[in-house]
A and B are shown apart, each in its own frame.
Chain A
Amino acid sequence: MQRLVGLRNFDWLIFLVVCLFLATGFFFVWSASSESFALKQIIWIGVGIVVFSALLIVDYYSIGKISYILYLIVLFCLFLVLLFGKTVYGAQRWLMVGHISIQPSEMMKIALVLVLSRYFVDKKSIAGFSGIIFPLALTLLPMTLIMKQPDLGTSLILVPVFFSIMFIAGVKVRYLLTIIAFTLSTIPIFWYFVLHTYQKARILSFLWPDTVSSFGAGYHRIQSLVTIGSGGSFGSGWGKGVQNQLNFLPQGHTDFIFSVIAEEWGFYRAGALLCLYVVFIACCIGIALHTRDPYGRLIVTGFTAMFATQILINVAMTIGLAPITGLPLPFISYGGSSLISSFIALSFIFNVRMRNRVALAKDGFYE
């Protein structure tokens, strides 16, 4: 087992990019809410960096070994949430442990990446369709539980994570298409039995914004568009966005922070932020591509897919390209749980990069 951890392998570029995100996040949380929220955000960033550094010390292989146990623990927590969870905004997403509230659905994203990667590395070769049944079950079970909370956004993140890991693990495209086709055929069932009224309203308001008479769903979308639109090319300046400062835009500091950024910074800087995100994703994929360890490759892929999905859905939602699902923008939105889980994921990516191990043999990594 290779114990050498080289700090020279620390990816300073990604680190710098993430720091830029965090700084942006801090200032816009401040602008969109108040100093107290911004200070809390700083505290969460501090906690996140501690978690990030602590996890760097641990070899990701040793975490990978207990990934099934982790998965089961988080799954159990998800059950607990449904039974005893704290209800906020009409959704039961929080588990209270003493005074700390945790959101197991955030942890599930990480656990799922670990466990899926572990499965595909152990399996070595996926010959038939039967090999996909187990990972499918691993994904669908937490998805159902999270959807029940209800938290449509987080449960949908698991889908691209699942597909991208399978794709990189070398599962035949034919199988993937089969699953997609099957999923699409179950949409009616979802519509009539699973989705809540407000979720339907959000989707309807996205598809046909003019027809929705109910206020809430359309309101959010239009306000977000107006906010972004009034930014123009250079924006109104930090802390000076009319839409934001007059509180026209709800949840400007969490899910809709990108609208605030777009309003106050304008198109060029908001666009630059998007480009930074592309750089971030590209670097992560670069790590996955260059690592010589299949397990590392798969987890980096999984986490990258997770980040990409979150960014894409969040931004798409604010500019009216996707229904409102309530996903935070990684490293920028206010919120402890999402920051911590982003940091954990980032830590794994760095971990893989720093322990760039040599694949000595095609199999037998655990011996």
Chain B
Amino acid sequence: MQKARFKILFGTISLLFLVIFCKLFYIQLIQGGKYSGISNNKRIRTVDINTLRGTIYDRNGSVLAVDKHSFELTVMYKKLFDTNLCFKQNILPRASEVKKLALNHNLCNECHIDKVMWVERIAGLLEIPYINIFNKAAKIVKKVENIKRAVERRNERKIRIREETVPHSVVSHIPWEKVAKFEVGMLDLPGIQIETNPVRWYPKGDMSSHVIGYVGKMSEKEIQNYNFKKKWFDDLKKSGESESEFFTQKSISMDALIGKNGIEKIYNSRLMGIPGERFEEVTLDTMRVNKLILERPSTPGNNIFLTIDSRIQAIAEKALGEKKGSVIVMDPWNGEIIAMASFPRYNLNTLNKNYSALSKNPLKPFLNRPVQSVLPPGSTFKIVTAIAALEENKIDENSHFPCYGSLKVGNIRFRCHTKQGHGLLNVEEALQYSCNIFFYETAKILGGKLLRKWAENFGFGNTTDVGLSYEKKGNFPKSNSFSQTINLSIGQGAMLATPIQITRIIATIANGGWYTKPHILQKISDHKGNILVNNKYDLTERINITEETMNIIKHSLRRVVTSGTAKKTGLKELLVAGKTGTTQTSIEDENHAWFVGYAPFDNPKYCFVVVVEHTKGHGAAVAGPIVQEILLQSESSL
């Protein structure tokens, strides 16, 4: 009995396999043509449905970057290709006249005059020179051919790529009056249509342009290197989950805008969203859509909320004015960056037009100075030297050193900034008057190794990972000689730091010894408003500094403002505590003017770093007023 039953079982299974085999035969060999999309005159094409890029908000929800709709004229690739051929063969420019001639003389039945007629029509309707359209067509054809060649080289055979079957944008930013006119006139122009396309719009113009960054089309190189497949799988691995249940999609098309800098670049994959797709059956000759097969709607990108407060950002940018430099305002208790100004800036909305001029500008407007400008920190570094010496018990609050205006070490004479000297002073007074000699003497006892250890404790030579692209590391060199150590102790020499690194140090002083993580991303939400990422950092790790040292430093920083190097700046009334810095550059009479500090000194709300690069004045005189204005304005308008 069992043998029979086994026979039945195996018979059933084989039968089912046979059914599957037949169906496979049917699909692959009999219907193969239909499914592979190649039949005599029909073709299934996929068309991308644009999605909206996510919006970037500041901490209060005011918009920094958003997608706006604009009208675009799109033309099927086949038409563009033919046009380009004609263009190359010089069948130009008055196609209609040529055609008349040709008809009269019965000349040419082969050439493509019919195929260029549309250019004239469009140029007339939209009132633009037709040569623009020809140039654009040539550009698109070149681009697509390049991609095609790359794909074919990769696959080692002829391939018809998707870009060849979809419409391409030829004219963009068409005003709506012309759109209306066009819609009436274009009924007999198959393969040409007006589409709405999102354009990036930055309502605040040049405000915090470096932080926001900008978007652009992928360059040819990026397209060629873009491994669609790999990208998708990497993203999938990272997220662990996907928006939809069972389909994955290639996420980018040739014309897609991707972030090129700043937040737009860093969170590009978040912001981009998933474009939808439409599968249509088209007749190849006319490019008319016979029927819509499937449509997958698009998913808008995620929205990004920054910690920037655009009100304070505007104040900071105004206060910085037209001075080359940077301003950072940060909350010392959680590391949220409230303002990050950099000058020179660029207007994000006119960037495309001004790009070449901007990139040639010697002031380097594309440099995001708060994170990319590496400068010697100068006297602001004395805070670190003081802490190091106090903590290593090399000095205490009663250690006094005399300052006679200069100090001779070996053959080199190191100077203080006053010729007559400060006399006998202790660490508080030394910070207060920013006496170099005191720190030279301290560095002598402390030595290069310990100084380096403390500088690294405070994060010199390491990025802060604030969340912006191309952040610089700075540099804290190994000190080989005695004179080098002495130079380093006052923040000169080969030491380089970014303003954001200095901000992190002053935040640690302001909050009484906690490490902060400066960050600019507050949260990410999806288009429905569900919060996906909440980027909050608590103060968890303490730097190893005793209470007494902290008090000495805090006390002296307050004294800098009340009676020290920054006493004439009017910051005293604003309850500021801080440290000035004037760093000499290689050029005579050009300094970097620093002011770092926090306010109010007893319970800090903000900590800030202001640096003006290559200026004539001194720290307090140049940077002080900027701080004053920021604090005055932000308090008064509260």
Interface positions of A (Cβ within 8 A of B) = 33-34, 36-37, 87-90, 164, 167-168, 170, 198, 215-216, 218-220, 222, 225-226, 228-233, 240, 242, 245-248, 250-251, 262, 266-267, 270-271, 274, 277-278, 281-282, 285, 288-289, 297, 301, 305, 308, 312, 315-316, 319-321, 324, 326
B226 at the binding interface (Cβ < 8 Å): no
Assembled-state Cα–Cα distance A222/B10 (Å): 31
A-B contacts counted at CB < 8 A amount to 154
Q: Contact partner of B19 among A87, A228, A305, A321, CB < 8 A?
A: A321
CB contact list, B258-313 vs A, under 8 A? 279, 293-297
Q: Could you tell me if B247 and A168 are in contact, using CB atoms closer than 8 angstroms?
A: no
Measured between beta carbons, the chain A residues less than 8 angstroms from B20 are 274, 312, 315-316, 319, 321
Q: Could you tell me if A216 and B27 are in contact, using CB atoms closer than 8 angstroms?
A: no
Q: Could you tell me if A168 and B6 are in contact, using CB atoms closer than 8 angstroms?
A: yes
Q: Could you tell me if A274 and B17 are in contact, using CB atoms closer than 8 angstroms?
A: yes
Measured between beta carbons, the chain B residues less than 8 angstroms from A282 are 10
Q: Could you tell me if A281 and B13 are in contact, using CB atoms closer than 8 angstroms?
A: yes
Q: Contact partner of B17 among A89, A226, A289, A312, CB < 8 A?
A: A312
Q: Could you tell me if B28 and A270 are in contact, using CB atoms closer than 8 angstroms?
A: yes
Closest 8 CB pairs of A and B: A229-B35, A230-B36, A267-B28, A250-B247, A215-B296, A250-B248, A247-B250, A232-B32
User: Within the complex, what minimum Cβ distance (angstroms) separates A82 from chain B?
Assistant: 19
User: Within the complex, what minimum Cβ distance (angstroms) separates A251 from chain B?
Assistant: 7
Measured between beta carbons, the chain B residues less than 8 angstroms from A285 are 6, 9-10
Q: Contact partner of A271 among B16, B21, B240, CB < 8 A?
A: B21
Assembled-state Cα–Cα distance A332/B246 (Å): 19
Assembled-state Cα–Cα distance A277/B14 (Å): 10
Q: Could you tell me if B293 and A222 are in contact, using CB atoms closer than 8 angstroms?
A: yes
Q: Could you tell me if B35 and A225 are in contact, using CB atoms closer than 8 angstroms?
A: yes
Measured between beta carbons, the chain A residues less than 8 angstroms from B156 are 240
Assembled-state Cα–Cα distance A219/B3 (Å): 44
Q: Could you tell me if B3 and A90 are in contact, using CB atoms closer than 8 angstroms?
A: no
Q: Could you tell me if B249 and A247 are in contact, using CB atoms closer than 8 angstroms?
A: yes
Known: A88-B241, A250-B249, A312-B17. A288 touches B36 (CB 8 A): no
Q: Contact partner of B14 among A250, A270, A278, CB < 8 A?
A: A278
User: Within the complex, what minimum Cβ distance (angstroms) separates B150 from chain A?
Assistant: 13
B244 at the binding interface (Cβ < 8 Å): yes
Assembled-state Cα–Cα distance A250/B243 (Å): 13
Measured between beta carbons, the chain B residues less than 8 angstroms from A219 are 247, 294, 296
Most buried by B among A36, A232, A233, A251: A232
Residue of chain A at shortest CB distance from B2:
A168
B5 at the binding interface (Cβ < 8 Å): yes
Assembled-state Cα–Cα distance A167/B249 (Å): 44
Proximity string of chain B (193-214) to chain A, C-beta cutoff 8 Å, 1 when within and 0 when not: 0000000000000000000000
Complex interface: stretch among B68-76, B136-144, B228-236, B455-463: B228-236
Assembled-state Cα–Cα distance A320/B46 (Å): 21
7 contacts between A and B (CB under 8 A): A168-B5, A168-B9, A222-B294, A229-B27, A230-B36, A274-B17, A288-B6
User: Within the complex, what minimum Cβ distance (angstroms) separates A176 from chain B?
Assistant: 11
Assembled-state Cα–Cα distance A248/B36 (Å): 12
Residue of chain A at shortest CB distance from B20:
A315
Residue of chain B at shortest CB distance from A227:
B35
Q: Could you tell me if B249 and A216 are in contact, using CB atoms closer than 8 angstroms?
A: no
Known: A233-B28, A312-B13, A312-B16. A216 touches B244 (CB 8 A): yes
User: Within the complex, what minimum Cβ distance (angstroms) separates A179 from chain B?
Assistant: 17
Assembled-state Cα–Cα distance A326/B245 (Å): 11
User: Within the complex, what minimum Cβ distance (angstroms) separates A285 from chain B?
Assistant: 5
Measured between beta carbons, the chain A residues less than 8 angstroms from B250 are 246-248
Interface positions of B (Cβ within 8 A of A) = 1-3, 5-6, 8-10, 13-14, 16-17, 19-21, 23-25, 27-29, 31-32, 34-37, 44, 46, 155-157, 159, 162, 228-230, 232-233, 240-242, 244-250, 279, 293-297
Main secondary structure on B side of the interface with A: helix
Q: Could you tell me if A215 and B36 are in contact, using CB atoms closer than 8 angstroms?
A: no
Q: Contact partner of B28 among A34, A36, A232, A251, CB < 8 A?
A: A232
Known: A88-B240, A312-B20. A246 touches B36 (CB 8 A): no
Q: Could you tell me if B9 and A267 are in contact, using CB atoms closer than 8 angstroms?
A: no
Q: Could you tell me if A267 and B25 are in contact, using CB atoms closer than 8 angstroms?
A: yes
Assembled-state Cα–Cα distance A125/B233 (Å): 54
Q: Contact partner of B295 among A215, A250, A305, A326, CB < 8 A?
A: A215
Measured between beta carbons, the chain B residues less than 8 angstroms from A321 are 19-20, 23
Assembled-state Cα–Cα distance A33/B229 (Å): 7
Measured between beta carbons, the chain A residues less than 8 angstroms from B295 are 215
Assembled-state Cα–Cα distance A251/B249 (Å): 10
Q: Could you tell me if A231 and B249 are in contact, using CB atoms closer than 8 angstroms?
A: no
Q: Could you tell me if A301 and B36 are in contact, using CB atoms closer than 8 angstroms?
A: no
Assembled-state Cα–Cα distance A312/B240 (Å): 29
Known: A267-B25, A271-B25. A229 touches B31 (CB 8 A): yes
Assembled-state Cα–Cα distance A262/B27 (Å): 10
Most buried by A among B9, B21, B296: B9
Q: Could you tell me if A240 and B246 are in contact, using CB atoms closer than 8 angstroms?
A: no
Assembled-state Cα–Cα distance A168/B5 (Å): 6
User: Within the complex, what minimum Cβ distance (angstroms) separates A331 from chain B?
Assistant: 16
Measured between beta carbons, the chain B residues less than 8 angstroms from A167 are 5, 8-9
Assembled-state Cα–Cα distance A260/B157 (Å): 19
Q: Could you tell me if A267 and B24 are in contact, using CB atoms closer than 8 angstroms?
A: yes
Known: A242-B159, A319-B23. A229 touches B245 (CB 8 A): no
Q: Contact partner of B233 among A33, A248, A271, CB < 8 A?
A: A33
User: Within the complex, what minimum Cβ distance (angstroms) separates B496 from chain A?
Assistant: 38
Assembled-state Cα–Cα distance A266/B247 (Å): 24
Measured between beta carbons, the chain A residues less than 8 angstroms from B245 are 89-90, 198, 216
Assembled-state Cα–Cα distance A315/B27 (Å): 13
Known: A270-B28, A271-B24, A274-B20. A232 touches B13 (CB 8 A): no
Assembled-state Cα–Cα distance A274/B24 (Å): 10
Q: Could you tell me if A226 and B37 are in contact, using CB atoms closer than 8 angstroms?
A: yes
Measured between beta carbons, the chain B residues less than 8 angstroms from A233 are 28-29, 32
Q: Contact partner of A240 among B14, B24, B28, B157, CB < 8 A?
A: B157
- If A88-B241, A198-B245, A229-B32 are given as contacts, then 4 extra A-B residue pairs at C-beta distance below 8 Å, sorted by A number, are A216-B246, A228-B27, A250-B246, A289-B6
Measured between beta carbons, the chain A residues less than 8 angstroms from B9 are 164, 167-168, 285, 301, 305
Q: Could you tell me if B29 and A267 are in contact, using CB atoms closer than 8 angstroms?
A: yes
Q: Could you tell me if B297 and A215 are in contact, using CB atoms closer than 8 angstroms?
A: yes
Residue of chain B at shortest CB distance from A86:
B240
Measured between beta carbons, the chain A residues less than 8 angstroms from B17 are 274, 277-278, 312
Measured between beta carbons, the chain A residues less than 8 angstroms from B25 are 267, 271
User: Within the complex, what minimum Cβ distance (angstroms) separates B100 from chain A?
Assistant: 44
Q: Could you tell me if B159 and A251 are in contact, using CB atoms closer than 8 angstroms?
A: no
Assembled-state Cα–Cα distance A305/B44 (Å): 40
User: Within the complex, what minimum Cβ distance (angstroms) separates A78 from chain B?
Assistant: 21
Assembled-state Cα–Cα distance A232/B3 (Å): 40
Assembled-state Cα–Cα distance A32/B229 (Å): 9
Measured between beta carbons, the chain B residues less than 8 angstroms from A34 are 229-230, 233
Q: Could you tell me if A229 and B36 are in contact, using CB atoms closer than 8 angstroms?
A: yes
User: Within the complex, what minimum Cβ distance (angstroms) separates A342 from chain B?
Assistant: 17
Q: Could you tell me if A232 and B23 are in contact, using CB atoms closer than 8 angstroms?
A: no
User: Within the complex, what minimum Cβ distance (angstroms) separates B318 from chain A?
Assistant: 49
Q: Could you tell me if B249 and A230 are in contact, using CB atoms closer than 8 angstroms?
A: no
Assembled-state Cα–Cα distance A319/B20 (Å): 8
Q: Could you tell me if B246 and A251 are in contact, using CB atoms closer than 8 angstroms?
A: yes
User: Within the complex, what minimum Cβ distance (angstroms) separates B444 from chain A?
Assistant: 52
Assembled-state Cα–Cα distance A25/B16 (Å): 23
Measured between beta carbons, the chain B residues less than 8 angstroms from A266 are 28
Assembled-state Cα–Cα distance A334/B324 (Å): 56
Q: Could you tell me if A232 and B29 are in contact, using CB atoms closer than 8 angstroms?
A: yes
User: Within the complex, what minimum Cβ distance (angstroms) separates B359 from chain A?
Assistant: 35
Residue of chain A at shortest CB distance from B9:
A164
Residue of chain B at shortest CB distance from A252:
B248
Measured between beta carbons, the chain B residues less than 8 angstroms from A281 are 10, 13
Assembled-state Cα–Cα distance A247/B563 (Å): 69
Measured between beta carbons, the chain B residues less than 8 angstroms from A305 are 9
Measured between beta carbons, the chain B residues less than 8 angstroms from A324 are 246
Measured between beta carbons, the chain A residues less than 8 angstroms from B44 are 226
